[in-house]
Structure 1
Amino acid sequence: MKNTIKTILLVSSLIISAITPAHANEELLDRVAAIVNGGVVLESEVNDLLANIKRQAKSNNQSLPSDRALRIQVMDKLITDSLLTQMAQRMGIQISDAQLDQTISNMAKDDNMTLAEFRQKVISDGSSYEKYRENVRTELISGEVTRNSVRRRIFIPTQEIANLITVMKEQTTNNIEYHLGHILIEFPANANQEELAAAKNRANKVVELLNDGSDFAKIAITSSGDANALKGGDLGWKNINEIPTLFSELINEKPKDTVVGPIRTGLGYSIVKVLDIRGLKVVEIEEVRARHILIKPSIILSDDKAKALLQGFLKQINAGEATFAELAKEHSQGPTSVRGGDLGWADPTSYDPAFKNALATMKAGDLHKPFRSSFGWHIIQLNERRMIDATSQMNETRAYQILFNRKYGMESARWLKETRDEAYIEIFEQDNK
């Protein structure tokens, strides 16, 4: 069966430029670079991503490893994307054009650009805007599949939360955050002593190169088996409590540019570098209390009709014909409908970006015109704003999130490795003509 699939896919990648003449020449427009279960990775996809990475590296004055090493990482990412996209299809996960446009609009706002300016920037950087949109869609789908799959694997005992809250209270003056880089030198599952020794030798060599001043991002792209390899191994900013205990004990109070490792984990040997350090102390945070009405578009109810329905509700509220709570109970499709759409007190940054941005423009008592989020169409009534002491009111929520984040990275890597191990993957050698 696998051979049949491979034959069909390879033949389908060839398009004959002329069929009638017996001596017609064949023109290779594309080829299959890899088979991933029932899907494929095309050579054009590999070349597009390679070109994009090289453009970004050039604009950032970032050096890159050899084309061969870079291609290995690119193939690895595209294979993972293919697996997650196939899983999304089975799970029924989709990102609509409206959701995608909203996400890109938020990205443009974050860069202080209009959508038109953002589009032009993508084109000016040498990319196809249509391909860029689809790449963003793939990233959103992959993230959703990963979160859905990994979340159910993480269990956090109540006692573990209580223990962390105690530690946090003892560390109220410790608000240091670390910007970390990570390189993973993998070894096979059930590795023998020879394989373990070989992996550790490679890891020691990496540490030696880093201590001698070699570029961390370049080595990560070349050598790391971690999911962040193509990002130069960048793990972003993390509080000491969010870093896996195995690393945090070695990193705590270490200065910038410290290299720690190799550290043996279940996946391989990890090498961590402190790229930067900053202090951050947040005593108070703003919370908002709002109501909303959610209408989800469907095959029967289009986006335009959902928006018009909500505009009608606003007219009723402004005319005094109905209250917001009454309409929410009757029409809202969210879980808060039974409470008249009441969302309770919450940190606005915890909401969908479109929802958060809408709240940011509102004053207490305001009604917001219909807008689209990743969940559907909303209208909002903002009731109140307040500042709270985050350390006294949100310790339990914060502790849970810290523990979840601590476990999520390792568990997602473990889940992805299991997923790949169970998949049928065949990579074809590059034609070096």
Structure 2
Amino acid sequence: MKLKKLIIGTVLGLSLNLGLSNHIIAKEVELDKVIAIVNSGVILESEVNSIINRVKSRAKAESQTLPSDKALYNQAIDRLINQSLLMQMAERMGLKISDGQLDQTLMTMAKEQNGTVADLRKTIEESGDNYQAYREEIRTEMTTQQVLRGNVDRRIYVGLQEIDNLLKIMEQQQGTSEEYNLGHILVDIPADATAEDIASSKERADKVIKMLNEGKEFKRIAIASSGGPKALEGGQMGWMNINEMPTLFAEAAKGKKQGQIIGPLRSGAGFHIVKIQEIRGRQVVETVEVRSRHILIKPSIIVSEEKARSMLAGFAKDLRDGNANFAELAKEHSEDPGSALKGGEYDWTDPTTYVPAFKNTLLALKKDELSEPFRTQFGWHIVQLLEKRVADKTDLAKRNRAHQMLYNKKYKEESFAWQREIREQAYVELVVDEN
């Protein structure tokens, strides 16, 4: 505690001394004030302003109205406190996101927008943001998500009986194919709340519902009033099946219509207000499966790249001419231990589980057709497509979906609980008055 106070005193004392000796220098120091102390870390005013400016820019682009600067300011500080706690934990864990991992994520993000990383960079810079700063923000987001996942996952167990029970319920329920796009506002209650505090929070929640029923914009009110983890995103929780929602929401959402406001719903965290923004259905799941066989030759000090390729080209020619047996060649020469003893055969498999080069080559073949030699990260291959079928994976998909629903439900509940626990255990002090 003394160390934390010393840090504050040093920062503020430096600002004061510089102000007495040189007004211009003091002014520069004050431009990036310490807003809060979080354990051994600090939150700076520039970080708060960065979040506020980004939210404002996004709102302007989407023609969305925003609440007061004070509401945005408080939400930004709250987010940075939670982020700081997670980043401090990442440092203790030795968790770091490499440049390679970051670049791969940015490539994926750009691809999802039908562009390249260069296009993404251009878009960021045209919006007035610094691309390198944007990269580091993505790195921070990846780091905090890994910390969160690592600590919350260990608190979650989904048993086979739970899955079976949920599947039975899903079969009995009407509308189990429906998914809901939810908006969420939390009017929180302090951990040591008095009866007066609870009554005050309830009154605030009732006012929020009244405003929503009068047609006020949900996202704006969420940003201004919500204490939930998605407040700065306008309280958008995304698409969820009723079995995937937190129990409190699921029970209240059953049978409700699109656009309906639900709440206030009381939990230990406070009063929840939920809006059912959209509802959609789901369809039967079908998957292409293939049965194939292949021969793998790995280049080495003894076998060059060209030698590996030419060996397979010779095997392919002999097989097409009817002068060789595929299974015998695979058992004698293939360096894939998982399939060599089976004559190179793979049983029915979803081809998307293979590496891209193998998958793409296989799917381009006709039944019984043999490929030319091709390279993957494992070495050189030839592959033959034996059979292809469309498999009904609805039952498997339902089971996987049931598992995912139970996991997501528990993850949301445990994630919120865990973050609240570490927040309550942390030393947090606001250095600058919020007003």
Q: TM-score, normalised by structure 2?
A: 0.78
1:304 aligns with none
After TM superposition, give the deviation of residue 264 of structure 1 in Å.
0.8
Q: Residue 26 of structure 1: SS of its match in structure 2?
A: helix
SS, match of residue 64 in structure 1? coil
One of 157, 160, 171 as aligned partner of 2:159: 157
Q: How many angstroms apart in 2 are the aligned matches of 1:288 and 1:11? A: 71
State whether structure 2 residue 75 is matched by structure 1 residue 64.
no
Deviations 1:295-318 (A, max 9, x none): xxxxxxxxxxxxx99xx9976753
Note if 1:363 corresponds to 2:354.
Answer: no
Match of 2:309 among 298, 306, 318: 318
Closer, same or farther: CA 431–73 of 1 in aligned 2, 3 Å: closer
Give the superposition deviation at 1:245: 2.6
Gaps of 5+ in 1: 292-307, 330-339, 371-377
Residue among 412, 427, 431 paired with 1:424: 427
Partner of 1:279: 281
Contact 2:87 2:143 in 1 (8 A): yes
Query: Where does residue 79 of structure 2 map in the other structure?
Result: 77
Name the residue aligned to 1:212: 214
Instruction: Find the counterpart in structure 2 of residue 196 from structure 1.
Output: 198
Per the alignment, do residues 13 and 33 of structure 1 end up closer, same or farther by CA in structure 2, a change over 3 Å counting?
A: farther
What does the per-residue CA deviation read over 1:343-375, in whole Å, with 9 as the maximum and x for residues that have no partner?
995695xx8xxx9877875534796655xxxxx
Which of 29, 33, 36 pairs up with 1:34?
Answer: 36
Q: 1:425 to 1:96 in 2, by over 3 A?
A: same
Moved more, 38-47 or 101-110: 38-47
Q: 1:308-351 CA distances to partner (integer Å, 9 max, x unpaired)?
A: 99xx997675354874525999xxxxxxxxxx9x9995695xx8
Kindly tell me: are residues 11 and 23 of structure 1, through their superposed partners in 2, closer, same or farther at Cα, counting changes over 3 Å?
closer
Partner amino acid for 2:257? P
Corresponding residue for residue 413 of structure 2: 410
Structure 2 residue 401 is matched with structure 1 residue 398: yes
Instruction: Give the conservation status (yes or no) of the 8 Å contact 2:357–2:376.
Output: no
Q: Distance in 1 between matches of 2:265 and 2:374?
A: 54
Q: C-alpha separation between the residues in 2 aligned to 1:152 and 1:314?
A: 45
Matches within 5 A, 1:97-116: 97-116=99-118
Distance 1:282 1:108 in 2: 30
* Alpha-carbon shift at residue 380 of structure 1 (Å): 11
Match of 2:148 among 146, 149, 172: 146
How far apart are the structure 2 equivalents of 1:359 and 1:233? 42
Q: Distance in 1 between matches of 2:404 and 2:351?
A: 14
Q: How does 1:294-305 map to 2 (within 5 A)?
A: none
* Stretch moving more, 65-74 or 42-51: 42-51
Paired with 2:199 and 2:304, the residues of 1 have a C-alpha distance of: 68
Report deviation, 1:429: 2.0
| 1:192 Cα offset (Å) | 2.7
TM-score by length of structure 1 reads 0.79
Pairing of 1:219-238 with structure 2 (within 5 A): 219-238=221-240
The one-letter code matched in structure 2 to 1:325 is D
Deviation, structure 1 residue 9: 4.3
Assess if the C-alpha contact under 8 Å between 2:36 and 2:44 holds in 1.
yes
Query: Offset of 1:212 from its aligned partner?
Result: 0.8
| Aligned mate of 2:94, from 92, 95, 104 | 92
Per the TM alignment, residue 169 of structure 1 is displaced from its structure 2 partner at its CA by 2.8
- Size of the alignment, in residue pairs? 389
Aligned to 2:263: 261
Contact 2:152 2:411 in 1 (8 A): yes
Answer with 36-45 or 119-128: which moved more.
36-45
| Cα deviation code 1:14-34 (max 9, x no counterpart) | 8959x9x88885332422111
Code of the residue aligned with 1:27 in structure 2: it is: K
Counterpart-to-counterpart distance in 1, 2:291 and 2:336:
14
Q: Does structure 2 retain, via aligned residues, the 8 Å contact 1:285–1:347?
A: no
Letter of the structure 1 residue corresponding to residue 413 of structure 2: M
CA shift for structure 1 position 401:
1.3
SS in 2 for 1:257: coil
Residues 172 and 212 of structure 1, relative CA distance in 2, 3 Å threshold = closer
Identity of aligned residues (%): 41
Change (3 A) 1:415 1:257: same
1:388 maps to 2:387: no
Over the residues paired in the alignment, what is the CA RMSD in angstroms?
A: 3.7
Aligned 8 A contact 2:287 2:350 in 1? no
Going from structure 1 to structure 2, the CA distance change for 1:6 and 1:367 (only over 3 Å counts) comes to farther
Cα separation, 1, equivalents of 2:307 and 2:407: 43
Which structure 2 residue ranges, 5 or more long, are not aligned?
Answer: 294-298, 313-332, 364-370
What is the aligned partner in structure 2 of residue 373 from structure 1?
none
Specify the structure having the higher radius of gyration (Cα): 2
Q: Is the 8 A contact 1:317 1:324 kept in 2?
A: no
Question: Partners of 2:291 and 2:98 in 1: how far apart?
Answer: 29
Structure 1 counterpart of 2:415, which letter? S
Deviation at 1:214, TM superposition (A): 0.8
Q: d(CA) in 2 for partners of 1:402 and 1:287? A: 26
Q: What SS class does the counterpart of residue 100 from structure 1 fall into?
A: helix
